[in-house]
Amino acid sequence: MAHKIVNPDGLHNPVPFGYSHTAAVPAGSELVFVSGQYGSGPDGKVVSGEFAEQVKQAFVNLGTALAAHGLALADVVQLRTYVVNPDFEKLGIIGQAVAGGGAEQPPTQTVIGVAGLAAPDILFEVEAVAARS
């Protein structure tokens, strides 16, 4: 059995915002933890000063990290996203990136607003937990 995403009745519908409320992973599944990925090219330098471009590249990088384990964004059960100076526009950009990941239901996600990340030009970072049955 693959992981199961559930958005219980009685809670708002989070899917339009790019996340789900709960995820269950069956016993015996292999978990893969991906450290924070940011909008960098192969040289480690940020690809753009634009938030949307950094989010797009961070999710490309996340996909590359997952692929190294034979997994894809659809296998992710939990995301943690870190956003410098969050606002509703940025949340919408993140939701669109998650929705473009190919999962029928988006994973659980916590968005964490921060004053800064590892370098001053990094505006966004995403880490993930994926599951393989």
Q: Are 107 and 23 within 8 A, CB to CB? A: yes
Per residue in 51-63, pLDDT (tens digit) is: 999 999 999 999 9
Residue 129, CA atoms < 13 Å, CB-side half-sphere: 13
Strands 76-84 and 108-114: parallel
Per residue in 56-113, pLDDT (tens digit) is: 999 999 999 999 999 999 999 999 999 999 999 999 999 999 998 877 889 999 999 9
pTM: 0.94
Domains in the chain and their CATH numbers? 4-132 (3.30.1330.40)
